[in-house]
Amino acid sequence: MKIGFVTDSTAYIPDELLEQFNIQVVPVKVIISGAAHSEGIDVSVSDVIAAFGDGKAVTTSRPSSNDFIETYQGLLDRGFDEIISVHLSAELSGTYESALLAVAKSELPVRVINSHNIASAVGFAVVGGARLAATGASIDDVEDYIRNRCELTRTLFFVDTLDYLQRGGRISSVQLRLGTALSLKPILAVADGKIVQQELVRNSERAFLKMVEIAVTVKDVDCDIAVLHVATQAKAEKLASQISKKLDGKQVHVYPAGAVVATHLGPGAIALVLSRQI
């Protein structure tokens, strides 16, 4: 059985891995002043930041079910027998729901997975599943692998301000007022598919130290690690270097986040993904 893989643009899988494992990507939409753009195709982080600077309304929107049907059918037409489709948390986006609707409408042989996570937490699971499928594993085993790996992944964020998360409805106005009033910087985490506050720290340097401290907890575990950033490459590389040194030179990937994450986290945001290999 030949298994095809589909994810959405927020998984931020490097192009070389997409090509190597023939993973198809359905873009999430970024809406700027009412005009829809496709992440990874015709809108960049710079476009989002410029739009914010100009006072324009910026939001995101799920892909349509037809976008998914077209992608699924394309894989089937190329000889794939079944498809696994893995997407960012259904608690944060309607992307998973659109994928389910596509399967219901088309009755195509697709298994849709809610990762309950975002960004490289999804990407590592998809690539790991594709590697497993390449060994001849059954689709049931591959599906179980992806679900388990998503569940075992930790994702943490540091943001300069909570404003962008509050605008997008990802946190409450109460959480926003608390963080602002105390002049603290939040470290956020993904838990049960939602963004929650893990703790508050005094400044970005303390946030970095805390993230390094958390990363060190996986020292004796086989783990893929990534640092993602929104227009702050130097800080991301600094964090990755600090983590790598603490982990005896272990590779820490540094990836730029895309326009969707930029819309919700804002410039200067940094994420740490700890994805346990299983």
Given a contact cutoff of 8 angstroms between Cβ atoms, the answer to whether 134 and 4 are in contact is no
User: Looking at residue 196, what is its pLDDT?
Assistant: 84
The answer to which of 14-18, 130-134, 154-158, 185-189 has the lowest mean pLDDT is 185-189
Distances, alpha carbon 174 to alpha carbons 3, 160, 177, 263, 269, in Å: 45, 17, 5, 21, 21
Q: In this structure, which amino acid lies at residue 139? A: I
> Using N-to-C axis directions, what is the helix angle for 65-77 and 95-106, rounded to 10°?
60
* 214 — pLDDT class (breaks 50, 70, 90): very high
Rounded-to-integer distance, Cα 139 and Cα 130, Å: 10
At residue 232, does pLDDT exceed 90? yes
Is residue 11 over pLDDT 50?
A: yes
Distance CA 76, CA 125 (A): 22
- DSSP, residue by residue, 13-55: --HHHHHHHTEEEEPPEEEETTEEEEBTTTB-HHHHHHHHHTT
> Does residue 54 carry a pLDDT above 50?
yes
Given a cut of 80, is residue 263 above it in pLDDT?
Answer: yes
Q: Domains of the chain, with CATH numbers?
A: 3-28+63-151 (3.40.50.10170), 154-276 (3.30.1180.10)
pLDDT value of position 176: 45
Return the percentage of the chain with pLDDT > 70, whole number.
92
**pTM for the predicted model, two decimal places:** 0.92
